[in-house]
Amino acid sequence: MGRFTGILGILAVLVAAWLGSTDRKAIRWRTVYWGLGLQFAFAFLVLRFSYGQAFMASAGQVVQNMLAATTAGTKILFGELGLPNAGVFGDVLAKNGHPNAGSIFAFQVLPTIIFI
């Protein structure tokens, strides 16, 4: 059953989208099938071949480099507010038992979303 968890998740998302649709006749099933086909093709390449794994690892490294550049730019632009667990807000959350909290949404998450 553990092997089919991902497939059940995909089906659950598709059913939820279909149920939440206001115009179910306007759904382009060809587009949905293409998306599912690409999903399974990528999964097959990554799970079966080492070059698929290497490609995904290199793509992940590109994303990590972009996030590092975003963090550096945020530090330059916002100073201490751009650092994790920084400022008064970070101190308050750290004192209340939230060791990983304190990231300020406006100064850390939004620049990442805007940049990427």
C-alpha 50/C-alpha 63 separation (Å) is: 20
DSSP 26: G
Helical (H) or strand (E) element with 97 = none
| pLDDT of residue 98 exceeding 60 | no
How high is the pLDDT of residue 66?
A: 86
Calculate mean pLDDT across residues 63-69: 86
- Range with the lowest mean pLDDT among 38-42, 71-75, 92-96? 92-96
C-alpha 75/C-alpha 90 separation (Å) is: 15
